[in-house]
Structure 1
Amino acid sequence: MKRTYLLPILVMNLLGFALFFSWYLPPSHGFWFPIDSGLYHFFNRLIVENHTFLWLVAITNNRAFDACSLLCMGLVMLHYWRAESAYGRRRIVIIGLVMLLTAVVLNQLGQNLLHLQRRSPSLVFTDTVRVSELLPFPTKDASKDSFPGDHGMMLLIFCGFMLRYFSVRAFAISLVIFVVFSLPRMMIGAHWFTDVFVGSLTVVLVGLPWCLLTPLSDKLVNWFNLRLPGKNKHPANN
């Protein structure tokens, strides 16, 4: 059974709180606002000037594209699933279930505790254009409640589970997936940079260590393993 790593948990919690309050306390969000504004306006100019980039952000923010992030995460887990025994394969499926459960719980906690009713930059700035105004294509380019970013939060939780249960290589790949699939929301203006790199990251730094650096995640995996129907509940059955 995994023991509790209290010091790393507290360090990550402190980093999470420090990150959040560095954005929340200063007037107009301090040094974070120029970063948010600068990135949004940089990408918005590209949208106007480059037709290829315009279509890129439109397609990557279509709801159907969200399935691609799930597919990429699934392929990473499938790689490890194929190399496992029957017991190991069952365990990987259950780890995925626990990861999904963790994401739902942390997302609800984050939305309730950090609920600030923040509008996306595409709704705040009036000197810019929206992709939906330029293309007759269904895409998400705005949000009336963008903080914290739930999409980025799920991707960060996936990164944490890859590091905890698989390998550093899986973690590195998951970080690439995180960047690739969280960036389009910021490029189109549906999220601020800080929605993800302050909001989502704060929730993950504060909440996820209490799951992965304590026996909790292992206990949940073992609990589901024993209670869900199916074969190969024990290594001896292989």
Structure 2
Amino acid sequence: MKTRLPLILLFNALGLALFMSWYLPVNHGFWFPLDSSIFHFFNHGLVESRVYLWFVALTNNRAFDACSLLAMGCLMLTFWIPADQSGRRRVVVIGLTMLLLAVVLNQLGQLLIPVKRASPSLFFTDIYRVSDLLNFPTKDASKDSFPGDHGMMLLIFATVMLRYFGKKAFSIALLIFVVFAFPRVMIGAHWFTDIAVGSLSVVLIGMPWCLMTPLSDKIIGLFDRHLPQKNKI
């Protein structure tokens, strides 16, 4: 992969513009009414339907987070199973590269973005919290919700799938992103903009430098050279 500098800078500009459209205006401009409307829409549903209440609680339980990892693993498994020995090894090292990029980019995003804000379930008063309505372990609040780390990892996974496995895999990865990231918004543990602005802007700025340069290929090559050959799958 040759460095595609014009496209990298375009994605960086889009990411920066997206973040600034939220960060610079007083009270986050038009984003705050959107955030508030989305939160209250889902929050009112918690007392209108017991089925919905349990759905939101279950989809924000830690076990459901494990299901997101399982879904990503299953998607990669569809490429691993039909591959030969070298192809299977490549799928594994791409997965390891994705995890490394996700950890590094998530840490950089948390450190460099000058934002700390509580989730809507802690910001608003006179609202409903799942933890008050059910005696069930679930994540319904966060003292520092921006950017959304869970959504960021799922978006990073989607970009890696696009780079190495094609558009169809990317489409499925985006579906996984929606299914597993937005329950956090529904329960009030994240604002909509924690994901739509925070996670997305970090990915738009960071991932092009990884995937549109030789960097990700070099990391894959590094893993391939140093992983024990006896572990070829």
**TM-score bucket of the superposed structures, by smaller chain:** over 0.9
- Cα distance in structure 1, aligned partners of 2:115 and 2:211: 28
Secondary structure of 2:32 counterpart: helix
In the alignment, residue 45 of structure 2 is paired with which amino acid? Answer: L
- Cα distance in structure 1, aligned partners of 2:231 and 2:65: 33
- 1:116 Cα shift? 1.7
Which residue in the other structure is 1:221 paired with?
220
Which residue in the other structure is 1:8 paired with?
7
Which residue in the other structure is 2:17 paired with?
18
Which residue in the other structure is 1:117 paired with?
116
Residues 163, 170 of structure 1: 8 Å contact kept:
yes
In the alignment, residue 155 of structure 2 is paired with which amino acid? Answer: L
Deviations 1:33-58 (A, max 9, x none): 01100000000011111111000000
- 1:232 Cα shift? 8.7
Secondary structure of 1:207 counterpart: helix
- 1:164 Cα shift? 0.2
In the alignment, residue 132 of structure 1 is paired with which amino acid? Answer: S
- 1:115 Cα shift? 4.3
- Cα distance in structure 2, aligned partners of 1:62 and 1:223: 36
- Cα distance in structure 2, aligned partners of 1:204 and 1:127: 34
Number of residue pairs matched by the alignment: 233
Residues 4, 213 of structure 1: 8 Å contact kept:
yes
* CA distance 1:232–1:185, change in 2 (3 Å): closer
Which residue in the other structure is 2:95 paired with?
96
- 1:74 Cα shift? 0.1
In the alignment, residue 74 of structure 1 is paired with which amino acid? Answer: G
- Cα distance in structure 1, aligned partners of 2:174 and 2:33: 25
Larger mean Cα displacement after TM superposition, 222-231 or 71-80: 222-231
In the alignment, residue 144 of structure 1 is paired with which amino acid? Answer: K
Which residue in the other structure is 1:40 paired with?
39
- Cα distance in structure 2, aligned partners of 1:181 and 1:232: 31
Secondary structure of 2:2 counterpart: coil
Which residue in the other structure is 2:68 paired with?
69
Q: Which runs of 5+ in 2 are unaligned?
A: none
Secondary structure of 1:208 counterpart: helix
Which residue in the other structure is 1:188 paired with?
187
- Cα distance in structure 2, aligned partners of 1:227 and 1:90: 12
Residues 86, 232 of structure 1: 8 Å contact kept:
no
Secondary structure of 2:141 counterpart: coil
In the alignment, residue 92 of structure 2 is paired with which amino acid? Answer: V
In the alignment, residue 133 of structure 1 is paired with which amino acid? Answer: D
Residue identity over aligned pairs, in percent, reads: 67
Q: Which runs of 5+ in 1 are unaligned?
A: none
Larger mean Cα displacement after TM superposition, 108-117 or 94-103: 108-117
- 1:184 Cα shift? 0.4
Residues 115, 147 of structure 1: 8 Å contact kept:
no
- 1:231 Cα shift? 4.6
Aligned CA RMSD, in angstroms, stands at: 1.2
Residues 162, 170 of structure 1: 8 Å contact kept:
yes
- 1:223 Cα shift? 1.2
TM-score between the two structures when normalised by the length of structure 2: 0.98
